[in-house]
Amino acid sequence: MRLVVFLTAAPLLAQWPQFRGNHALTGVSAVSMPAQLKVLWTYEAGDTIESSPAIDNGVVYIGVQSAELLAIDLGSGKLKWKYKTKEGVGESSPAVGGGLVLVGDLEGVLHAVHTQDGKGAWTFPAQSEIKSSPVIAGDRVLIGSYDGSLYCLELKTGKVLWTFHTDGPVHATPAVEDGLAYISGCDGVFRAINIKDGKEVYSIKTGAYMGASPAILGDSFFVGTYNNEVLGLDRKAKRVIWRYEHPVRKFPFYSSAAVLPGKVILGGRDKIVYCLDSRTGKPLWQFTTRARVESSPAVSGGKVYVGSNDGRLYVLDVAKGTKLFEFEAGGPVSSSPALAEGRVLIATQDGKIYCLGG
């Protein structure tokens, strides 16, 4: 069988079909959001949610630690179907494409499910838990596992096309552009891997454990580390070009960055949302919440949407970092917001899914 892989970068989409919204993992939406937000509906999932929502064609998909993948109607908040996974779904977030929705579970099984009816299409067992989120690239799907591998599978069948082994768990979700998959590793190495054959094109040693996923902006990558730093990497020079570390507060960066021209925005476990200059790493503004920020920000129309473990969704001004709005969700919001069709979707660790809109 001849496989066709799309080798160009994905444009910003009106939907939010995967973790961070697009292949470059920018966390930026092309959709304009309402000036004022209110709760349109709430869904009680019944167990902890750390998975982030995907939104496609009027349906919200999300994993739950009760070992379920849910499909919920975006307009009404009513359940369309639920699919039982092998074990609970942790931080792995669904990806939608080709009539399938995919998610990994804590048993280490990747599930492919038909979007139309919630029936299973195929499963793939890795050798350890999956917290990475799948990425669909053409007719292939990429997924990392705590067994230290990045897998490339055939989307329709789940057949393994290649396996790339690292020296540590693959927690991060791969960013994809121009036929390459980029992973920030728990082994302290940032890698570019050819999607066609699984061969490493180049690597950059960062000297730090990385749980966050990389974001691509032009010729640069941005990622936070467990060494209490945010890194800017240059793909032409193939090296780290700047490092940011708070002068006093020494906490890891687990949140994946949202990136737009001139700005890198992410949360820290020191309770702060940071905005850094993408060219220099110098801080532009900071916003302090009441608890650690593990949620990855989403950006649309000059606004930043980000959750905090203090149980709130914050809406901040991109330019200044001033608070425009906050919503009290109750349970910690470590899941990341998803933006589509004028709606903001968030989920909490006490099992609630909220849809906010105008």
* Residue 170 phi, psi (nearest 5): -100, 90
| % of the chain residues with pLDDT over 90 | 95
**Number of domains making up the chain:** 1
Which of 291, 217, 199, 203 minimizes the C-alpha distance to 254?
291
Q: pLDDT at position 1, please?
A: 36
Quick one: average pLDDT of 73-79?
A: 98
Q: Say which CATH number the domain at 190 has.
A: 2.130.10.10
Quick one: average pLDDT of 99-118?
A: 98
| Token pair belonging to 330 | 């109750």
Cα gap 76→241, rounded to integer Å: 47
Cα gap 218→301, rounded to integer Å: 20
Cα dihedral value 99, 1, 182, 126, nearest 10:
70
Q: pLDDT at position 12, please?
A: 59
25 close to 12: Cβ distance less than 8 angstroms? no
Is the Cα dihedral 313, 135, 68, 78 positive or negative? positive
pLDDT tens, position by position, 237-262: 999 999 999 999 999 999 999 999 99
User: Which of residues 278 and 5 earns the better pLDDT score?
Assistant: 278
Residue 234 pLDDT > 90: yes
Lowest mean pLDDT among 11-15, 168-172, 176-180, 245-249: 11-15
C-beta neighbour count of 98 within 10 angstroms:
15
C-beta neighbour count of 32 within 10 angstroms:
12
Element (H, E) at 347: strand 343-347
Of how many residues is the chain composed?
Answer: 358
Q: Which residue has the tokens 């990806």?
A: 95
Cα gap 29→145, rounded to integer Å: 28
148 close to 169: Cβ distance less than 8 angstroms? yes
Residue 111 pairs with which residues in a beta bridge? 103, 123
Tell me, what amino acid is at 172?
A: A
Domain-embedded: residue 23: no
Residue 276 pLDDT > 90: yes
Domain-embedded: residue 12: no
Domain-embedded: residue 29: no
Average pLDDT, the chain: 95
| Token pair belonging to 86 | 């092998």
| Token pair belonging to 84 | 């039982």
| Token pair belonging to 191 | 């890698």
What domain range is 335 assigned to?
A: 38-357
Domain-embedded: residue 28: no
Q: pLDDT at position 11, please?
A: 53
**What confidence tier does 14 reach under pLDDT thresholds 50, 70, 90?**
confident
- Tell how far CA 218 is from the center of its chain: 19
Domain-embedded: residue 324: yes
17 close to 96: Cβ distance less than 8 angstroms? yes
341 close to 74: Cβ distance less than 8 angstroms? yes
Q: 3-state secondary structure string, 24-53?
A: CCCCECCCCCCCCCEEEEEEECCCCCCCCC
Cα gap 76→82, rounded to integer Å: 16
Domain-embedded: residue 33: no
Domain-embedded: residue 18: no
Residue 6 pLDDT > 70: no
User: What is the spatial order of strands in the sheet that 109-114 belongs to?
Assistant: 95-97, 100-104, 109-114, 120-125
Angle (CA) 10 13 16, round 5°: 110
Classify residue 120 as left (phi > 0), alpha (psi -120 to 50) or beta.
beta
Domain-embedded: residue 11: no
